[in-house]
Amino acid sequence: MDYLAAAFQAAFELIVSFDADLWEIVALSLRVSLTAVLIAALIGLPLGAAVALFAFPGRGALIVLLNALMGLPPVVVGLVVYLFLSRAGPLGVLNLLFSPTAMIIAQVILVLPIVAALTRQVIEDLWSEYREQLVSLGAGPARAIPTLLWDGRVTLVTAILAGFGRASAEVGAVMIVGGNIDHVTRVMTTTIALETSKGALPLALGLGILLLLLTLLINAAAEGVRRYARARLA
């Protein structure tokens, strides 16, 4: 019991003393996951909306695929990205393996299906409500996409937050393609995994507490957006 209490106390001290190593790791985690989510949103929002609005051969299969990819195991994504980026792989010349960029790539692949699949669902529902009105006004599908993305913004923000939650909590992909290199590619989840196995509990616990707080924050933000929307936008 003393051992646990001591570990918690050390972890707490690391946090409140703004320990440089700890905050470097937190900062890199946020940078990697936020960048990945931004890129995934830039691609996934219009992609999901286009799948919702346009009819094309293979559309049904694409929807099934997107939905299935939402549950992609992070280690598998890590493995595939590793194979592509490794020296012998097709993108080996880029020399990206074990860099934050590699971690961002892996997380984009993890988050993109979530954003695209949820966007597709949201926009398809909105489109069935708006279609005749928009066609009546003279807005075709191309014009409708930005319109519907904007009108679905509340739900879409929560979809993006879900993507961020997944990115910041996953460990498998960033571990494989990042390699948990001190001061280069160590993020919260990989540090927790490795420090724990080394018995270095304070750092792992400190990061664990911060990760938990981040998750709470994400969910609070999602709830805040929903409440704001209910009150203001109806």
Partner 1 sequence: MTAEPMRQVASVPRTAGETYRDSILPCRFEGVVYEVGGKRPIDGLDLTLEAGPVTLLIGPNGAGKSLTLRLAHGLIAPTAGQILWQNRKLERAGRGPRRQSMVFQKPVLLRRSVAANLDYALSVHRVQGEERRQRREEALARTGLTAYARQQARTLSGGEQQRLAMARAWALKPQVLFLDEPTASLDPAATAAIEEIVRAMHAEGCKIVMTSHDLGQARRLADEVIFLNRGRVVEHTPASDFFEQPNSRAARDFLAGKLVW
Q: The tokens of 39 are what?
A: 């890129």
User: Which of 125, 151 has the CB closer to partner 1?
Assistant: 151
Q: What sign for the dihedral angle of Cα 70, 75, 80, 85? A: positive
Residue 197 found at the interface with partner 1 (CB under 8 A): no
- Judged by CB under 8 A, the residue of 73, 90, 140, 224 near partner 1 is 140
Q: CA-CA distances (angstroms) from residue 21 to 18, 28, 206? A: 9, 11, 11
- Hey, how many other C-beta atoms are within 10 angstroms of the C-beta on 158? 20
How far apart are alpha carbons 103 and 175 in whole angstroms? 8
Q: Binding of partner 1 at residue 147 (CB under 8 A)? A: yes
Q: Is 54 in the site for partner 1 (CB under 8 A)?
A: no
Residue 216: CB minimum distance to partner 1, A: 28
d(CA 137, CA 233): 22
Binding status of residue 129 toward partner 1 by CB under 8 A? yes
Residue 56, interface with partner 1 (CB under 8 A)?
no
Question: Taking contact as CB under 8 A, which single stretch among the options 7-15, 65-73, 103-111, 131-139 is the one that binds partner 1?
Answer: 131-139
Shortest reach from residue 63's CB to partner 1, in Å: 23
